[in-house]
Amino acid sequence: MTDKQKPETLPPELQAILARPFKRIVVFSGAGMSADSGIPTFRSGENGLWNAYDPSELATPNAWRRDKETVWAWYEWRRGIVMAAQPHPGHLAVAELQRRCDAKIITQNVDDLHERAGATDVLHLHGSLFAARCSACSKPYALGEPPQEQQRQITPPRCPRCQGYIRPGVVWFGENLDTTTVKLARQAIANCDFLLIVGTSGVVYPAAGMVNGAPSSATIIEINPQPYETSSRIAFQWQTTAARGLPEVVRNILI
């Protein structure tokens, strides 16, 4: 555990909120959750070879049709970064919360850090870097090891069933979210009595709008180091990182 991941002291006001009993807990995580494991966000300035590219131009169906080799190389680079990263104490705390309280986990992230921390049945609203599929027939495809070095272009593999190109298993800009995943996420939030929002600015729709589906009686807590505008629905906004704040929040819930 690094100094940046050491637990932070829980604010007394938040401690009082967490003293209430909760039975239907939902954790909703965003990019800030993964950033604490060293995974750069789209525009973090830590993207090396890809700094000259606009991610919103690469993560689209049009980019795939126009230049599959560049898009595939970019996603393989991202997958390699994720595979080299490790779950942080916040991921481990959320997995423990799921084991002990049957918490539902919804994420906007396309990595597998929640799962590697021990969580199961995670609802990935934006898909996963590890769920590649055929762009023609949608057959799932098992990926091998990503290249060790960054490459500007890589030809995508072909589907063994129909010979279509294998595409990343993420939801691109301009594509619809998976209807089943969205339905399950909405149901979990609509039925919750405690919603913990972690590391998301609340600006990426339609996922961000889902938090408004929480019952008026639900307690909503937000953990984010950035001072975003706080909704009146949020009972407490703790300005800290996921790695430092989540272990203390979960510890107090489980007391």
6-34: pLDDT as tens digits: 677 899 999 999 999 999 999 999 989 99
Considering the domain architecture, whether residues 25 and 49 belong to the same structural domain is answered as no
Given a cut of 80, whether residue 1 has pLDDT beyond it is: no
Considering the domain architecture, whether residues 102 and 156 belong to the same structural domain is answered as no
Considering the domain architecture, whether residues 13 and 92 belong to the same structural domain is answered as yes
- Cα distance between the two ends of the chain: 23
Considering the domain architecture, whether residues 206 and 249 belong to the same structural domain is answered as yes
Considering the domain architecture, whether residues 247 and 191 belong to the same structural domain is answered as yes
**In Å, what is the CA distance from 26 to each residue of 16, 69, 103, 126, 168?**
19, 38, 6, 17, 27
Residue 215 φ/ψ, nearest 5 degrees: -60, 150
Residues of the chain with pLDDT > 70, as a percent, come to 87
Given a cut of 70, whether residue 46 has pLDDT beyond it is: no
DSSP letter at 134? E
DSSP letter at 24? S
d(CA 1, CA 119): 20
Q: Identify whether the C-beta of residue 223 lies closer than 8 Å to the C-beta of residue 198.
A: yes
Q: How confident is the model at residue 197 (pLDDT cuts 50, 70, 90)?
A: very high
End position of a domain, from candidates 150, 167, 184: 167
3-state secondary structure of 56: helix
Q: What is the pTM of this model?
A: 0.92
Among 192, 167, 202, residue whose Cα is nearest residue 71: 167
Considering the domain architecture, whether residues 48 and 146 belong to the same structural domain is answered as yes
Considering the domain architecture, whether residues 145 and 247 belong to the same structural domain is answered as no
Q: Reply yes or no on whether 126 is catalytic.
A: yes
- Map tokens 């009686």 to a residue: 217
Contacts 24+ apart (CB under 8 A), 10-17: 10/248, 10/249, 10/252, 11/236, 11/238, 13/236, 14/221, 14/236, 14/238, 14/249, 15/252, 17/219, 17/221, 17/235, 17/236
Interval 108-137: pLDDT, tens? 999 999 999 999 999 999 999 999 999 999
The more confident residue out of 200 and 206 is: 200
The more confident residue out of 203 and 159 is: 159
Domain coverage including residue 149: 41-84+133-167
What is the pLDDT, as a whole number, of residue 255? 87
Tokens of residue 52, six digits: 């000259």
Considering the domain architecture, whether residues 53 and 106 belong to the same structural domain is answered as no
- Residue-wise burial string across 62-92, b where 16 or more C-beta atoms lie within 10 A, e elsewhere: ebbeeebebbbbbbbbbbbbbeebebbbbbb
Considering the domain architecture, whether residues 222 and 151 belong to the same structural domain is answered as no
Domain harbouring 123, CATH code: 3.40.50.1220
Q: Which residues pair with 165 in a beta bridge?
A: 158
3-state secondary structure of 43: coil
Considering the domain architecture, whether residues 54 and 157 belong to the same structural domain is answered as yes
Considering the domain architecture, whether residues 31 and 157 belong to the same structural domain is answered as no
Among 67, 60, 114, 108, residue whose Cα is nearest residue 88: 114
- The kind and range of the H/E element at 190 are helix 179-190
Considering the domain architecture, whether residues 141 and 219 belong to the same structural domain is answered as no
- Map tokens 């998976």 to a residue: 178
The count of domains in the chain is: 2
